[in-house]
A = this chain, B = another copy of it.
Amino acid sequence: MAVAPDHLAARAPEIARMNVKTLCLGILQLGSASGYEIRKLTQDGPFSHFVDASYGAIYPALSALEAERLVSCREERRPGRPDRRVYSITPLGHEALLAALAESPRQDVIKSEFLFALRLAELAAPAHISNEIDRRLARLEDQIAQMEEALERKCEPTGRFVCGYGLAVYRAMHGYLAENRHMVEAVVGNGLAARDAAE
C-alpha cells in the first residue's frame, strides 16, 4: 500500500463522519459562532428540523476540532456580557467538510415517542391522548410561525429551501393530525377496558 507524501497528507485532513463535529463544521462554514449559538441554531433555529445536538456534545466537539486545527477560536471579551469563545472554520476544516459532504447521506433518523404513543392509544388514559395531541398541534403552530418568519428574512437559496422543506412537512403533520385525531381518540382506553373486563 502506497503512503501519501507529506504535502498530500496535509491536504487530506481527517474525514469527519456525519456527527456533531461535522455538524459544527457545517454551521461554522456559514459563519463564525460560539458553542452557545450553535446550540441555539440547532435547538430552535433554522436547523432544528433536521439536526440535533446538546451542549454536552457541542463543547467537546469544538475543542476537538480546534485541536485538529479544523477550526480556530478567538476569545471575545465584551464589557457588560459574559465572555465567549467564537469559532471560525479554517481552510483545513473546509477540506474536511468537503470530504464529509462527498459521502452519500445516510437514511434519515426519526424517532417519535408521540407517534409511538398514538399507535398504542388503546392503552392510554382517556384525557391523556387528547391532551398530548393538543400540545403537539400548538407546538407545530409555533414551529410553523417560526419557519414562516425565518423564510421572510432569509435570502440564501439553500437556507430558504430547507426552511421551506420544514414548513411543508410541519404543515402536512398539522393538517393530518387536526383532521384525523378522531381516529385515535375514538379508541382511547379500549385496551384498558378489555383488560379490566377480563379480570
Contact = CB atoms under 8 A, between A and B. Distances in A.
Interface of A: 18, 23, 26, 29-30, 47, 49-52, 94, 97-98, 101-102, 104-106, 108-125, 128, 132, 135, 157-162, 164-165, 168-169, 171-173, 175-177, 180, 183-184, 186-187, 195
How many monomers of this protein are in the complex?
2
B172 A168 contact: yes
A157 B176 contact: no
B128 A102 contact: yes
A124 B173 CA distance: 31
Contacts of A30: 120
A98 B196 CA distance: 14
Main secondary structure of the interface of A (DSSP, over half): helix
A123 B97 contact: yes
A107 to B, nearest CB: 8
Nearest to A48: B110
A100 to B, nearest CB: 9
Contacts of A112: 50-51, 105, 108-109
Contacts of A111: 50-52, 108-109
Contacts of A98: 123
B176 A164 contact: yes
Q: Which of A47, A101, A121, A175 has the most CB of B within 10 A?
A: A101
Contact of A51 (B116, B135, B159, B162): B116
Given A158-B121, A172-B169, A105 B109 contact: no
A199 B132 CA distance: 55
